[in-house]
Structure 1
């Protein structure tokens, strides 16, 4: 009888363990950080290497033990149809974002500086420049990350799941007379105190008195000043128009021209045939039909980048870049490796003082409201 009871108890424990394994709860990651304008508190740092940015609802970003990566919960990202909160550049367009940023700063990064340095960095939106995660301009680095795309993801999805961003200097400006200048912090703050910036355009600061007598400030007319804000990500992995794609962008202009919208269309542009303007270049380095992209399994990308070296004020290309991408996954119990971008010389980067940092998650573009759900994990980077 004792053996039978022990056997039944063991069966019950196994059943409960199986049920638990099949119904593990997702764990929301609630903190968000504006890496440009704020330092990250210790409780906002995720797994000692990330901070979260973007929309903050319980389902937007969660630990997912049901789709583990190397035995640990992966990061599950989700945007529903209504989760578009970013204003797009074209009039009336919206975008949605929930991502993990590898670059951020903490209060410890400012300990050796007077308080004014942090206060000024907040105004300049350069707080993250003092922290971790930004590689040097013109450097060579290796990156690895993995994505799990469910078969339920719709073909007409429009999202970037991994991207490298530039770190533009906000003190680089263009005067109303058309002169491009790199200002000192003090010179820029003198402008900051009398203007309001909307993206890269400066507006006169207009005083407004409320009914309660309180004074506030609103943006008046554009006053002719422009400020460096950045542009398209130098490298992006994503889905658009029924394709998986890898896109490299380059901008050799010292102060980016936001009216130049050179951006290769994955549907119309041939692989490694750049779309170019006077200063910009946009290249589809690789594309694959959405139907052919492996689903319901982990896809690991090994990415080697030689970032293009630029001539700063001279607005020249000193040395072109190079891109190499390996794609690895298991299908029908077979490990497959595809060399999808093979040591291609390419223009990739921005003519900034500083370099680049990595983010992954969902950046839904093109005014899309198609629901997006997928998982990411396994990030690492190192100098080569």
Structure 2
């Protein structure tokens, strides 16, 4: 069992903690919006997701983690998708070289965040991600949700036609030739005139290639790869605990594994857990042989290591990542909660390149 590093909260401390909560009420669309310095959380994240009643995030300056305020994420049910902090966002300084017309074109294509800070390119470099995780006593067998995830950054201007052909456009071409005839919702194309699905799809990200989840009574890590240049939503693959995988999608373009899982009942509650990830994001390209998609072997160069309270609990290598041009970025909070709702506390996120490749 992973031992806790902090003492449990007493009842009196819990009451004081509730009084110290300060709700964060702004949200951003990181694909299209510019963030000002005073809106950035802890200097490296911005809030995204729902502002509806019952879906909240609070800053807590009393229950701190390594000198940082903690953040309590709370969703009452599954009627909303997310309340998270994103490490990827764009400031005015990031796009000061763009003309107003260029900015508007990126906003129209939902690609302004390509110029943002916080993204990680795919290479053989190791990236380190650290933060504090607090599992509340309310988590149980019914609890469900993603509490940390890494998301792909698609180019937003590559489409798959109804016949399966992949077409890459420049930004100006995409706006003038594609968006003049159709619009996209969750990556699916709709005709502007008829308002119905037209068979086109756009490169828009797909499933998160790496996620820390709660579900089926477990805390577990889910690792995915998607070799499609534009993700194929009809070729789905899922895997729930206690199954570990790996599992291949029906068309053979996607994989999933659950290389780490631990019963919630065996993990410390109401105390901080130090989380440290070391990840290598491999590059990949979709290739074709006689029109059949062939997995690029470089995807096998992915690596995920995880320490919890300085105990290594995962050392995994295999297929990892999406076939995206711009790499990945990190988010934590709550995504896709179960019907009974969920809450989680997180704090102190940092990411950096590992300079010493021999260091464990």
TM-score by length of 2: 0.86
> 1:242 deviation in Å?
0.9
> 1:43 deviation in Å?
3.3
CA distance in 2, matches of 1:62, 1:306: 32
Conserved? CA contact 1:40–1:105, under 8 Å: yes
**1:68-105 Cα shifts (integer Å, max 9, x gaps):** 21233211111113x623xxxxxxxxxx3100001010
- Other-structure match for 1:112: 97
- Other-structure match for 2:158: 172
CA distance in 1, matches of 2:280, 2:263: 27
> 1:374 deviation in Å?
1.9
- Structure 1 residues not aligned, in runs of 5+: 1-17, 86-95, 207-218, 329-336
CA distance in 2, matches of 1:43, 1:380: 19
State the SS of the aligned residue for 2:102.
Answer: helix
2:180 to 193, 215, 223: 193
CA distance in 2, matches of 1:22, 1:187: 53
Alignment of 1:51 onto 2:46: yes
Against the structure 1 CA distance between its residues 57 and 68, is the aligned structure 2 distance closer, same or farther, given a 3 Å change threshold?
Answer: farther
2:340 to 347, 370, 373: 370
- Other-structure match for 2:3: none
**1:318-341 Cα shifts (integer Å, max 9, x gaps):** 25211111110xxxxxxxx42111
Conserved? CA contact 2:68–2:348, under 8 Å: no
CA distance in 1, matches of 2:225, 2:331: 18
**1:18-57 Cα shifts (integer Å, max 9, x gaps):** 9995664211111110001212133322222111001125
- Other-structure match for 1:356: 328
Say which one has the larger Rg.
Answer: 1
Q: How does 1:170-319 map to 2 (within 5 A)?
A: 170-189=156-175, 190-206=177-193, 220-267=195-242, 269-270=243-244, 273-277=245-249, 278-312=252-286, 316-319=296-299
- Other-structure match for 1:380: 350
CA distance in 1, matches of 2:14, 2:40: 32
2:67 to 66, 71, 75: 71
> 1:146 deviation in Å?
1.3
- Other-structure match for 1:323: 304
Alignment size in residue pairs:
331
**1:144-195 Cα shifts (integer Å, max 9, x gaps):** 1111111123331111110000001211111233311111112211210221
Against the structure 1 CA distance between its residues 43 and 178, is the aligned structure 2 distance closer, same or farther, given a 3 Å change threshold?
Answer: same
> 1:372 deviation in Å?
1.5
CA distance in 2, matches of 1:379, 1:259: 35
- Structure 2 residues not aligned, in runs of 5+: 1-12, 289-294, 355-360
CA distance in 1, matches of 2:206, 2:17: 43
Against the structure 1 CA distance between its residues 351 and 72, is the aligned structure 2 distance closer, same or farther, given a 3 Å change threshold?
Answer: closer
Conserved? CA contact 2:143–2:342, under 8 Å: yes
State the SS of the aligned residue for 1:262.
Answer: coil
Against the structure 1 CA distance between its residues 374 and 22, is the aligned structure 2 distance closer, same or farther, given a 3 Å change threshold?
Answer: closer
CA distance in 2, matches of 1:322, 1:99: 25
